[in-house]
Amino acid sequence: MQRRPIVVAGVVVAAGAAAVAFTLPSLAGTNEAASPAAAKKSPGGVSPNLLAAMKRDLGLDGEQAAARLARSEWAGGVSATLAARTGEDFGGAWLASDGTTLKVAVTDSAAASAVKAAGAVPVLVKHSEAELDAAKTKLDAAGVKVAGLTGWYVDVTTNKLVVVAKSSGKAEALALAKRAGVPADAVAVKVSDAQPKPLFDLRGADPYFINVGGGQARCSIGFSVQGGFVTAGHCGAEGATTTGFNNEAQGTVEFSVFPGAADMGFVAVNGDWTPRAVVNDFEGNELPVAGNTEAPVGAAVCRSGSTTGTFCGTILAKNQTVVYPEGAVTGLTRTDVCAEGGDSGGPWLSGDQAQGLTSGGSGDCTVGGETFFQPLNEVLAAQDLTLVTTGGTGGGESTTPPAETACEALPVQRTGAINRAGQAQAQPNGGSYRARAGTHTACLDAPAGTDFDLLLQEQNQQGGFRTVAEATGSGDKSLTFTGGSGTYRYVVVASSGTGSYSLGFDVQ
């Protein structure tokens, strides 16, 4: 089909924002006994060892922990759907301190009804999440060399852009925000003398080693993906070789980003290693990995690492820029969980749902501290990787969604009409929507006898949009796409014919 120029009129765009970590692989040919922890289930089907860690670190009994994890998974899907439904009125979502109440911020009281209908509590705020993300992007460009500052992030619970400064840097934080054009009522300063650092060391121990400069550095393996595993980007430059916990050749770093837009990497392993859908808790147990639904702010989360084992806590903020001695890294998730050197690259789980990989932090597991992780879904999308799960498969891109998915069954519904061939319309409502990292699913019912194409576009840092997935040809059509967090829109293009159409979509 010949492609025609696309004309989209009256599109309102919002600023976008940016969206691992572990199993011990087994050697091919090795007889494996089934782990008792993997076979045994506790309340809600959650691993008993994970529940034990949550009881120790969060004070939750088995039933409370299982209920909180189930609520987190539900909240992740609901908040993504509400972000699409409320559009530019969306101000962010989080679980309250009770771990069960989902709060959703909106800038227009008219959007509150959609929030209530979804079973969440609306909170009226002044700034949309898109506005705060746009302000953070300005700081990303202007603040990487400002002394006394260690990071900044959007705090949806207070509807502020928070700048983290050492006690001597509070004035610099406010001055930076002013220079970047951030409104004073949108900024808060958090004073902390902690200096985040990548959790990386040169000690020889499990579980894997990066061969660098005639020596070896140790990190924790990331979540298994088809063909290898994902881990922290600072755990090895592209082309570096790795050695397993048993001192046998393991693989090669094929992708690595650090510092900059992420702290993520991918290691392709040789045929002696079999990626498995488990996480080692370093107490003789294996924790299952069933999927990668992203948990919201306020959710309980646990991590494992080869230095300290398994510890749990709470997600405090997302999309934080962290200023390490090596340079700034954007798009990290902030938690109150402890970690230490050598834990880098290790996995983060919310129940059996994979969340990300350990990047760095401050403090240790004796006195406590903060730890940041790189969201998993971003590296999966960046390298078109498939997470190995207990269900067998992971994400990817396809123009054919699951057979049972119908347009009218998708939670976000929009209609439109195009009265001249060659024209196009952006949805939702001529604008765009915020989305966390995940899988976008859409279905277009086109008028009979027409050729209406469906495009999914993502906003770039310059404010423009690029097409990341499309479904073309005559008749009805559908698409799925797995991508990072950011601002997206659908574009319906009338290549031939005119008439009314209906569009259904969702993000999971």
Question: Which residues are catalytically annotated?
Answer: 234, 263, 344
- Report the alpha-carbon distance of residue 352 to residue 77 in Å, rounded: 15
Kindly state the greatest CA–CA separation across the chain: 68
Element (H, E) at 361: strand 353-364
Q: From 345, 212, 224, 218, select the one nearest 273 (Cα to Cα).
A: 224
Q: From 19, 23, 3, 97, select the one nearest 458 (Cα to Cα).
A: 19
Per-residue H/E/C for 294-322: CCCECCEEEEEECCCEEEEEEEEEEEEEE
33: helix, strand or coil: coil
CA angle 226, 230, 231 (to 5 degrees): 165
Amino acid (one-letter) located at 118: A
Contact 318, 153 (CB under 8 A): yes
The full DSSP string for 383-405 is HT--B--TTS-----BSS--TT-
* Residue 213 in tokens: 């400069």
Residue whose token pair is 């220079």:
179
Residue whose token pair is 């925000």:
177
- Report the alpha-carbon distance of residue 480 to residue 403 in Å, rounded: 12
* Residue 84 in tokens: 């699409």
Q: List residues bridging with 375 in a β-sheet.
A: 356
168: helix, strand or coil: coil
